[in-house]
């Protein structure tokens, strides 16, 4: 079984690396308009370069990892080749904001899984949101989930919620990075080296998130547990509240959600 990736950018290559943890690299076929990027990726991982017609005619799962703005041009090339196929294949799109109905308009009526992974899939700690059209058989969906098992958490959502989920898990790593950087800079202001403070911030977020996930805890309850009355933590939390941090993060998610909707039009 061969698996094709069209697009070798940050997200496409991260997902391909994740798939390679459960599928031999020799079964992975990569294509990108940037041939140097593909060559470097293939040289590093053992994946194979393939032309668009090779991927469209031969791969069981075809991952579309290009920007939404490039989708129409790509579809015009792939659609005739996909229409000629008589064997089963599955189109897997990670184009932000692009619905399965729109994908059908572009690529024709074929079994489609719409996904939204986030960058941490490259280290096996990502989130992959997905939804599937009726044409995707149980066997094909099981095959997809099996190859994605090392990516992290797989979460099936109603398609109407994918854009909202993308704004949390897909965009969230960027927001979290700003938190980590801000914590480290705060430590630097207090006399720590930035490098030491960065390690502290990184592992504090990792540990806190793991504790919440494993205990299925409420983040507000944990926050209160850390805040002793009259102690140092509560003073910092008050500063965050006075600065409107909750509103700002909520606004960031909402702004990303609105942009996801625009990208899909």
What is the C-alpha separation between 218 and 232, in angstroms, rounded?
A: 22
DSSP 76-101: HHHHHHHHT--S--EEEE--TT--HH
pLDDT tens digit string along 82-118?
Answer: 999 888 899 999 998 899 999 999 999 999 999 999 9
Taking a C-beta distance cutoff of 8 angstroms, is the pair 145, 18 a contact?
A: no
- What pTM value is reported for the model? 0.89
Mean pLDDT across the stretch 120-128? 92
Mean pLDDT across the stretch 3-28? 91
According to the model, what pLDDT value does residue 262 have? 85
Taking a C-beta distance cutoff of 8 angstroms, is the pair 67, 232 a contact?
A: no
Taking a C-beta distance cutoff of 8 angstroms, is the pair 126, 118 a contact?
A: yes
Q: Which residues of 212-223 are buried (b: 16+ CB within 10 A; e: fewer)?
A: eeeeeeeeeeee
Tell me the pLDDT of the chain averaged across its residues. Answer: 94
Residue ranges of domains in the chain, CATH in brackets:
3-170 (3.40.50.720), 172-263 (1.10.3730.10)
Angle (deg, nearest 10), helices 100-107 and 71-83: 60
Residues 150, 153, 159, 161: is their CA dihedral positive or negative? negative
Distance of CA 31 to the CA centre of its chain: 19
pLDDT tens digit string along 192-211?
Answer: 999 999 999 999 999 999 99
């Amino acid at each position: 079984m061969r698996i094709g990736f069209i697009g070798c950018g940050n997200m496409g290559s991260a997902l391909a690396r994740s798939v390679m943890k459960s599928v031999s690299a020799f079964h992975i076929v990569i294509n990108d308009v940037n041939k140097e990027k593909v060559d470097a990726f293939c040289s590093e991982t053992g994946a194979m370069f393939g032309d668009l017609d090779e991927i469209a005619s031969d791969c069981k799962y075809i991952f579309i990892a290009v920007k939404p703005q490039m989708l129409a041009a790509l579809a015009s090339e792939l659609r005739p080749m996909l229409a000629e196929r008589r064997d089963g294949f599955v189109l897997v799109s990670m184009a932000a904001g692009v619905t399965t109905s729109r994908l059908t308009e572009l690529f024709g009526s074929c079994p489609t899984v719409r996904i939204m992974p986030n960058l941490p899939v490259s280290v096996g700690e990502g989130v992959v949101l997905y939804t599937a059209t009726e044409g995707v058989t149980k066997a094909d969906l099981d095959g997809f989930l099996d190859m994605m098992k090392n990516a992290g958490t797989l979460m099936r959502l109603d398609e109407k919620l994918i854009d909202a989920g993308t704004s949390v898990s897909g965009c969230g790593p960027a927001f979290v990075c700003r938190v980590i950087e801000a914590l480290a800079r705060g430590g630097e202001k207090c006399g720590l080296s930035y490098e030491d403070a960065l390690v502290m911030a990184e592992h504090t977020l990792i540990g806190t998130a793991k504790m919440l996930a494993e205990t299925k805890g409420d983040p507000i309850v944990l926050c209160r547990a850390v805040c002793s009355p009259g102690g140092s933590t509560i003073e910092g939390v008050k500063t965050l509240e006075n600065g409107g941090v909750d509103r700002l993060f909520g606004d960031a998610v909402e702004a990303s959600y609105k942009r996801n909707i625009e990208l899909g039009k």
